[in-house]
A and B are shown apart, each in its own frame.
Chain A
Amino acid sequence: MSSYFIVNGRVIDPASRTDGKLSVLVRGGKIEQVTPSRKAPEGAQVLDASGCVVAPGFIDMHVHLRDPGQEYKEDIESGTRAAAAGGLATVCCMPNTDPVIDCASVAEYVLEKAGRLGATGVIPIGSITRGGKGEAMSDIGDLASAGACAISDDGRSVMNSGLMRRAMEYATAFGLPVISHCEDAALAGGAVMNEGLVSTELGLQGMPAAAEELMVARDIMLAELTGARLHIAHASTMGTVELIRRAKRRGIRVTAEVTPHHLTLTDEAVSDFDPNTKVNPPLRTEADRRALIKALADGTIDAIATDHAPHNIIDKEMGFEEAAFGISGLETMLPLALALVAERKLTLKRLVEALSAAPARILGLKGKGSLKPGSDADITIFDPSAAWTVDASRFASRGKNTPFNGLRVMGRARWTIVRGRIAFAG
């Protein structure tokens, strides 16, 4: 296995409180040393990271790889190549595949295929309920044994509060956090965007913020009742932020993530009916967006996750109401997040933390999220000032569905190193 000596970069590792012009030595797939020395040890290949940030390999705790079942949209190979190109060393894939990851054999399939073809690390998330139907618990113990890092019925809430309570209680025995997609199905109805002035103008059915906040409130109460670790997926409203803030103050074990698109766009983006702006939860108002940025900066929201949702063109060219929800987000994550740093709304250190140490901590991923010696040699080396134009046709992902196509952005990965192997070099 190759050895690398990464020099001339700014090493930022929030987990070990490191920030400085240091060198990183990688050997045997592990971080061997972080040192002020610039002298490469014998046999190590030098990577010159001048102008770059050297960070713990980024972890995206919320992606859809569509494999098994919808490989025409994405598969583990294309999805992880997209992840590597976006600067991610590890992705956690949601279980709403076909079949659903609700038992050990499907989780094992994902891990086996990822081991064979994955450019990055892949860790499956198991479903809370069998088939993701919200009716009966999945084999949560088996999923944990097979290597799942969390459980979630992402895409919808478990509407049965009694079942959700039992699943949360049960999951604590296996140390798994419960990732909740918060959406009261009846209140959301068949909505396709945020309920607000824009939905009124466009005549599109709107989803009120309360549809999310009701379930966030319920699940926080259930976390308090059960002592389970609750993680709120893709927080999108000001009210959600407030509920999480209050719960954290009270010592309830709740964490949360936010997507780059909710930090960047508002429901105004829907105004020309571009189906690429159709996401769930929907793009909200400017007040919500500001609240999310503030919450990310102050740690109320712990992590950034893309909710990468690749779709084929036939799923998006349907007219807004009939189009599928989701943005292909892996390859635009980094510049969108870096824009907040450029606007001084977020520090670079906090950004790196939200993409590395935070998801590793939430999911209990040992050896990940830090450059401490002995950790897995997962490293993201990115140039924050590299300017480029988003061109969806050049995405490694099969999903070309992005509202950011043509956008001039700053910041991209130079190298993504996964367990000591270069998975991407840009």
Chain B
Amino acid sequence: MRLSTRHILSINDLTKKDVLTILATASSFKEISERPIKKVPTLRGRTVINCFFEDSTRTRLSFELAEKRLSADSSNISKSGSAMANKGETLLDTVRNIEAMRPDILVIRHSVAGAPAQAAGATRARIINAGDGMHEHPTQALLDLMTINDVKGRMKGLKVGIVGDILHSRVARSDMLLFKKMGLEVTVAGPPTLIPFGVEEAFGVRVASDVRDVLPELDVLMLLRVQRERLGEHFFPSAREYARYFGICADDLKSAKEDLAIMHPGPVNRGVEIAADVADGPRSVILGQVTCGVAVRMAVLYLLLGETHSE
């Protein structure tokens, strides 16, 4: 089994068949994490470098665990500890230096949109985009889809609402692309200041001015983290007002389907975009997303090396 693409820079790189392959592979890898000895020799001798030029804890840990469980040799570059990232080298210089050490896969997280795509031109290694600026975070979308599929037992025709800061969210961009690709229907909602220009046309989604209007028909509700720094940028007046008009609390869910799944890519701002009793309530599958994250990342690492893994 292998994917049709060398890199995972965007959901656009993946065919529908690729997505199904990744989900099926991830399902089988999920079981490894349940074993007492959580390790298989699949990627023994392969080198993965995690280039986290932007701070991240959960995504990085998720990739590291995925690599270790497949027995890959992994190294890390972080923004704070990296001379490469801090001493005036260009992004491509850094990538060329890493390339000279012959890695098999680079996992790149960067605050600049398109950085992994640019890096792909400077290395023979496979590249996984672990989040680039406001652009995309494809493995997050894959783990979101896996979670939905696990919970609902299907994907096609499901109705998903994504609420919050769509404008600045790479997760929302990848989710919209992936969910549309796999036949789910997507509605986005949030303050108009945080809905990007032309999102209906660009991503084929519906925009609701108030998610409560469409809540009864939704199967999945994805809430996005509200960044505190947006407060100073005039996107909304205050966290209190955001919570009141755009946050979701238990009362709002009275009109929702019994089996509505509540999702959140984390970290959660309890009391802002989501009330604590919703985040921790029976409909929440937020921790399930985290579990799926390791499995999905194991799957893409394995599949990207494809037929070459046994060379």
Q: Tell me the A residues contacting B by CB distance below 8 Å.
A: 195-197, 199-206, 272-273, 275, 313-314, 317-322
CB distance from A395 to the nearest CB of B (A): 20
**B105-146 contacts to A (CB < 8 Å):** 110-115, 117-118, 132-136
CB distance from A200 to the nearest CB of B (A): 4
Q: Are B201 and A319 in contact (CB under 8 A)?
A: no
- Contact partner of A203 (CB less than 8 A), chosen from B88, B135, B198, is B135
Once the chains are docked, how many angstroms separate the CA of A30 from the CA of B31? 86
Are A196 and B197 CB-contacts (below 8 A) given A203-B170, A317-B93? yes
Contact with A along B64-92 (1 / 0, CB 8 A): 00000000000000000000000010111
Most buried by B among A200, A314, A318, A319: A319
A-B residue pairs in contact (CB < 8 Å), sample of 8: A199-B197, A200-B197, A204-B114, A204-B135, A272-B114, A273-B117, A319-B110, A322-B112
Task: Please give, as numbers and ranges, the residues of chain A lying within 8 Å of B196 by CB-CB distance.
Answer: 199-200
Once the chains are docked, how many angstroms separate the CA of A314 from the CA of B117? 18
- Contact partner of B112 (CB less than 8 A), chosen from A200, A201, A206, A320, is A320
Q: Are B92 and A273 in contact (CB under 8 A)?
A: no
Are A203 and B202 CB-contacts (below 8 A) given A314-B90, A317-B90, A318-B91? no
**B165-220 contacts to A (CB < 8 Å):** 170, 173, 196-199, 201-203
Once the chains are docked, how many angstroms separate the CA of A322 from the CA of B114? 11
Task: Please give, as numbers and ranges, the residues of chain B lying within 8 Å of A204 by CB-CB distance.
Answer: 113-114, 133-135
Are A317 and B92 CB-contacts (below 8 A) given A273-B113, A273-B118, A322-B112? yes
Closest residue of A by beta carbon distance from B168: A203
Interface size class of B (residues with CB under 8 A): 20 to 34
Q: Are A273 and B93 in contact (CB under 8 A)?
A: no
- Contact partner of A200 (CB less than 8 A), chosen from B111, B132, B133, B198, is B198
Task: Please give, as numbers and ranges, the residues of chain B lying within 8 Å of A202 by CB-CB distance.
Answer: 113-114, 135
Q: Tell me the B residues contacting A by CB distance below 8 Å.
A: 88, 90-93, 110-115, 117-118, 132-136, 170, 173, 196-199, 201-203
Once the chains are docked, how many angstroms separate the CA of A137 from the CA of B282? 65
Once the chains are docked, how many angstroms separate the CA of A92 from the CA of B248? 58
Closest residue of B by beta carbon distance from A189: B233
Could you list 16 further interchain pairs (A-B, Cβ under 8 angstroms) beyond the known A197-B197, A201-B203, A272-B114? A195-B197, A200-B196, A202-B114, A203-B132, A203-B173, A204-B113, A204-B114, A205-B134, A273-B113, A273-B117, A317-B90, A317-B118, A319-B91, A319-B114, A320-B118, A322-B112
CB distance from B174 to the nearest CB of A (A): 10
CB distance from B190 to the nearest CB of A (A): 14
Task: Please give, as numbers and ranges, the residues of chain A lying within 8 Å of B202 by CB-CB distance.
Answer: 197, 200-201
Once the chains are docked, how many angstroms separate the CA of A209 from the CA of B237? 25
Q: Are B113 and A321 in contact (CB under 8 A)?
A: yes
